[in-house]
Amino acid sequence: MTDPLSFAPTSPRFALPLLFAGQSQKEVTVNEALLTADVLLHLAVEAVVTTPPAAPASGQCWLVGASATGAFAGKSGRIASWSDGGWRFVAPREGMRAYDIAASAYRHFAGGNWQIAAAPAAPAGGTVIDSEARAVIGNLIATLRAAGVLS
């Protein structure tokens, strides 16, 4: 006797719900998957918060900070998105990137945390001072900060 085929109910990376043959109310499953995909595509978050915002607009996203409370309790580190149906939480994956609107910088998820790349220290010291090189390095750092690559 052969074993019946077994299919996972969700996608492996972000747990998007999958459809099954003969499934009733497929639109519910498809809409859930589309709402989650909408959060993840070109991710931009309002800020890092520990309590749910009072009046979120549909489609707005936040990163849930440590020691979160209220509807965010137990969801630290996740992406919280508001839709007409309520809060949706997506667990980030290693290497994800999000633009933090409040910080005007990109964050990346590495080692279990959302991080902003720190700017390198301005050049200093040495026995020979090359003012042109220091000026160029300073301009590079300023440009990377303005682009949101460094904080």
- Identify the band that residue 102 occupies on the pLDDT scale cut at 50, 70 and 90: very high
Q: Which of 25-34, 38-47, 59-68 has the lowest mean pLDDT?
A: 25-34
- Identify the band that residue 127 occupies on the pLDDT scale cut at 50, 70 and 90: low
Domain span at residue 30? Answer: 26-116
110 falls within a domain: yes
Of the spans 36-40, 63-67, 121-125, which averages the highest pLDDT? 63-67
pLDDT, residue 126, reads 66
Helix or strand (DSSP H, E) at 63: strand 61-64
129 falls within a domain: no
45 falls within a domain: yes
Number of domains the chain is built from: 1
Q: What is the mean pLDDT of residues 4-26?
A: 77
35 falls within a domain: yes
- Tell me if 117 sits within 8 A of 97, measured CB to CB: no
138 falls within a domain: no
pLDDT, residue 131, reads 78
112 falls within a domain: yes
- Least Cα distance to 39 among 85, 70, 9, 83 occurs for 83
Q: What is the mean pLDDT of the chain?
A: 85
pTM summary value: 0.72
Helix or strand (DSSP H, E) at 86: strand 86-90
Give percent above pLDDT 70 in the chain.
91
6 falls within a domain: no
133 falls within a domain: no
